[in-house]
Structure 1
Amino acid sequence: MRHLAIDVGTHRFIARLEEEAAPRTCAAFLEMLPFSNQAIHSRWSGEAVWVPLGDFQTGLDYENHTSHPSRGDVLLHPGGLSETEILFAYGSSRFASKVGQLAGNHFLTVVEGADKLMDMGRTVLWKGAQWIRFTDLGER
């Protein structure tokens, strides 16, 4: 199984790519690596941080999509109804925006560092935008 490191500020997480459930999303995201941007706290989605990608075209459609990510799930909303974005749930979340409920492709699941998810979310909430970086760790 292939894994990525996700660094958010000073927090590090290891996540498993969900290649069987979301093969096209995983392949497209791997093409973007290493990827960095800023994560900000979600406005409508509960305990989650998000990375707004604006009009970025992924060429993807829905695949393994959900509106109710679990703690440690990372979703990619391919755009359309709302802007393209990455949502990283650190607690209870229901994916939404000002246009209403959204769905994103669940393509990563945190497998190491889950005990630090709440700390990461609170840091983004109370200290503001944090740099997020995704890097490929390969097979583990």
Structure 2
Amino acid sequence: MSQFVIHAGDFTFNARFEEELAPRTCAAFRKAMPFDSQVIHVRWSGEAVWMPLGDLDFGVGYENHTSYPAPGQVILYPGGISETEILLAYGGVHFASKVGQLAGNHFITLTSGLENLPRLGKTVLWQGAQKIRFEMA
């Protein structure tokens, strides 16, 4: 089953795994579910929230990677130049770190609640870290 739910702050989004485009990333993340973290606002990348995950290793390389996720797309940066992280775009994004442009695996797409993404982004920006949970529906 590729459908699941993301709870972020006061918002709930339905989502799907991009299993055909990023099968290894989807499989690795599914094993980690339910996945709990906190989102903070990005520093370099534009309009997105992210989960810094340090040296957490999902055991995947690049697949379906992009530096420009669209609003509602979730990418996993598997580590290397910068720390492992998950990023959720709510507006325009050019994925980067202090060392320059990065690319992450687009492996999740939100399927409902997109109208609430800008509100989530502004909440994180002005009120700080918010809890996030990825769980099967």
TM-superposed CA distance for 1:58, in Å, is 1.3
- CA RMSD across the alignment: 0.7
Task: List gaps (5 residues or longer) in structure 1.
Answer: none
User: Normalising by structure 1, what TM-score?
Assistant: 0.96
The residue aligned with 1:136 is: 136
Q: What are the within-5 Å matches in structure 2 for residues 1-140 of structure 1?
A: 2-137=2-137
Structure 1: distance between partners of 2:7 and 2:107: 17
Superposed CA deviations along residues 72-106 of structure 1, whole A, max 9, x for unmatched, are: 00000000111000000001011001111010000
TM-superposed CA distance for 1:57, in Å, is 1.2
Structure 2: distance between partners of 1:136 and 1:26: 13
User: Normalising by structure 2, what TM-score?
Assistant: 0.98
Task: List gaps (5 residues or longer) in structure 2.
Answer: none
Structure 2: distance between partners of 1:125 and 1:101: 22
Structure 2: distance between partners of 1:8 and 1:32: 17
TM-superposed CA distance for 1:37, in Å, is 0.8
Structure 2: distance between partners of 1:87 and 1:46: 11
Q: What percent identity do the matched residue pairs reach?
A: 61
Structure 2: distance between partners of 1:80 and 1:90: 25
Structure 2: distance between partners of 1:43 and 1:34: 27
Partner AA of 1:103 in structure 2: A
Partner AA of 1:51 in structure 2: M
Tell me, what secondary structure is at the counterpart of 2:40?
A: strand
Structure 2: distance between partners of 1:19 and 1:32: 16
